[in-house]
Amino acid sequence: MWLEILLASVLSFVIYWFVSRDKEATLPLGDGWWGPGVRPTAKEDESIRPFKVETSDDELDVRHRLGQLSRGEGREASGGFRGLDLSGVRNDSAVTGRGNWSSAQGEPRSTLLQRDAHVPAQVHPLAHARTYLRGPHEVCVQDRRLDKTRFTPPLEDSRFHYGFNSNYLKKVVSYWRNEFDWRKQVEILNRYPHFKTKIEGLDIHFIHVKPPQPPSGSTPKPLLMVHGWPGSFYEFYKIIPLLTDPKNHGLSEDHVFEVICPSIPGYDFSEASSKKGFNSVATARIFYKLMLRLGFQEFYLQGGDWGSLVCTNIAQLVPRHVKGLHLNMAFISKNIHFLTLPLARHFPGFFGYTPRDMELMCPFKEKMFYSIMRESGYMHIQSTKPDTVGCGLNDSPVGLAAYILEKFSTWTNSEFRDLEDGGLERKFSLDDLLTNIMLYWTTGSITSSQRYYKENLGLNIMTQKHQLLKVYVPTGYAAFPCELLHSPEKWVKVKFPKLISYSYMDRGGHFGAFEEPELLARDIRKFVELREQQ
């Protein structure tokens, strides 16, 4: 008998050892270089530079635009120009960096605005275009192009079932052309401090917002918030004051945050990788280095969409530096519980599902299969041929708007497909939606943002190492009812065993921070409260 006890003890120890190995498993941190060419031998400049989104009165007034576009659309940071050739086709192939400004280059503005002086201004085919100046390169939404847009009439009673309804698109374009005030939106963008810094060869853009009046005797909690596609750092503009200045927004000062919102490389003002293979793990490492550069050894994380994967990867890379992880979307592979769904409809409690789970997942065929199939077409092309679809979107402001805004319709609520206007203005203002569009258009970043799908999904994301590892940091999850795919608490715990907070949100869809900033802020605060009590 004693021999059996001894053998059982040894076996138990072996099992415990293997389980402990899984608990301690992390992703290798590694290193990378994503800038053009080979990595220089000199140490990378680690300075943090202030950055500002800029525009000018002349470029905002279309009446001043006659002949001005002979200068082209813009000039990239390395000194080359990107612009419109004489056929009117937008050419962004030379762009390697975005959003640098003249003072940082030490170049006079007049020099920065010169381009191809030998080309007569009067022959430029887009001489009447409106140009928005941001940094040393000019970027534009062409009024003349908007006026010349060719709309395909929608099918009768098609609403948003075939994609963006062109009847409503005309309204969006008219508002964009005649009422949208980009100068005002630029002022809003500059409401928070912007910065740039070089990491692994890329110019990384981020906003860094500190509490206006930190409560005495306490230190603000650093919180890194990461966006996804087709969003941007602008998604967080309405939730930031709820986190950094809660007292003036009807919330307690128990938890005050210092918020850092970077742009994923290849999105908006962050430089795109010059090399293949730049995925979520590389992004996570860069953002971890960013937090260290800012002086944070411990911090909280929050993300949805790609941001949820990037934040998850940070927790897998450096769990000791992550105080807590809050998500409103989860990438979960090897989920055997999915197989229980057919029987769970009849015995939900037996399989660990709540009545609310059943509401959000039934009917199974519709919500767990057909709806996903209807909404995943974009994913297949961006995971295989992102540059092809990017050609059209980067050359047509209206095409870009339709492509992106359709996601803000059906990903917010799948039932919005049944509406003529896609329900866009039920949750968002056109100003906010078009500001997000302008961030993609003015930086020419739609193609590089789509390549992120190729780099992450092209090799089958579900078999990559980070998908096979569990996350052993305290985790909170906000389950918005209109998310593309509902993840029950039981599923989330498969990937995140230290789940300490799981909330069924009252309303909202895929863009939680953009749609329901107050609900998300309250859930983040609830999670942090639980974490701080541990």
Residues 88 and 216 in one domain: no
Residues 228 and 323 in one domain: yes
Residues 198 and 334 in one domain: yes
Domain boundary, last residue among 160, 179, 213 = 160
Give the span between the Cα atoms of 176 and 373, in whole angstroms: 31
pLDDT tens track for 270-283: 999 999 999 999 99
Do residues 428 and 509 lie in contact, with contact meaning Cβ atoms separated by under 8 Å? no
Residues 104 and 221 in one domain: no
| Across 58-73, average pLDDT | 36
What the block records as the tokens of 78 is 């390395």
Residue at 123 is within a domain? yes
pLDDT tens track for 442-498: 999 999 999 999 999 986 666 688 888 999 999 999 999 999 999 999 999 999 999
Residues 156 and 221 in one domain: no
Q: What is the mean pLDDT of the chain?
A: 83
Give the span between the Cα atoms of 322 and 336, in whole angstroms: 28
Residues 66 and 134 in one domain: yes
Do residues 383 and 376 lie in contact, with contact meaning Cβ atoms separated by under 8 Å? no
Domain boundary, last residue among 120, 142, 160 = 160
Question: How far are the Cα atoms of 175, 252, 352, 490, 501 from residue 337, in angstroms, in the given order?
Answer: 47, 39, 10, 8, 20
Residue with tokens 């974490």: 531
Residue at 495 is within a domain? yes
Residues 139 and 276 in one domain: no
Could you give the number of structural domains in the chain? 2
Give the E-state strand segments of 418-498 in sequence order: 475-479
Residue at 249 is within a domain? yes
**pLDDT above 50: residue 97:** no
Residues 152 and 229 in one domain: no
* Percent of the chain scoring above 70 in pLDDT: 77
Task: Provide the pLDDT confidence category of residue 341 given band limits of 50, 70 and 90.
Answer: confident
pLDDT tens track for 346-381: 888 888 999 999 999 999 889 888 999 999 999 999
Residue at 40 is within a domain? no
Closest-CA residue to 467 (of 501, 490, 494): 494
Residue at 142 is within a domain? yes
Residue with tokens 């090897």: 334
Q: In this structure, is the dihedral angle defined by the CA atoms of residues 53, 57, 61 and 66, taken in order, positive or negative?
A: negative
| Across 380-401, average pLDDT | 96
Task: Provide the pLDDT confidence category of residue 63 given band limits of 50, 70 and 90.
Answer: very low
Residues 332 and 468 in one domain: yes
Residue at 413 is within a domain? no
- Residue ranges of alpha helices (H) inside 294-429 are 306-317, 341-344, 355-361, 364-365, 371-375, 377-382, 386-395, 397-410, 424-427
Residues 76 and 215 in one domain: no
Instruction: Catalogue the active-site residues.
Output: 305, 453, 510
Q: Phi and psi of 5, rounded to 5°?
A: -65, -40
| Across 383-389, average pLDDT | 97
Structure confidence at residue 208 (pLDDT):
99
Domain boundary, last residue among 139, 160, 181 = 160
| Across 120-126, average pLDDT | 32
What the block records as the tokens of 244 is 């950094």
The boundaries of the domain holding residue 249 are 190-340+461-533
Residue at 43 is within a domain? no
Structure confidence at residue 103 (pLDDT):
36
Residue at 46 is within a domain? no
CATH at residue 236: 3.40.50.1820
Structure confidence at residue 334 (pLDDT):
67
Sheet holding 202-209, edge to edge: 48-51, 194-199, 202-209, 257-262, 221-226, 299-303, 322-327, 475-479, 499-504
Residues 145 and 201 in one domain: no
Residues 312 and 213 in one domain: yes
More confident residue, 151 or 61: 151
pLDDT tens track for 207-229: 999 999 888 888 999 999 999 99
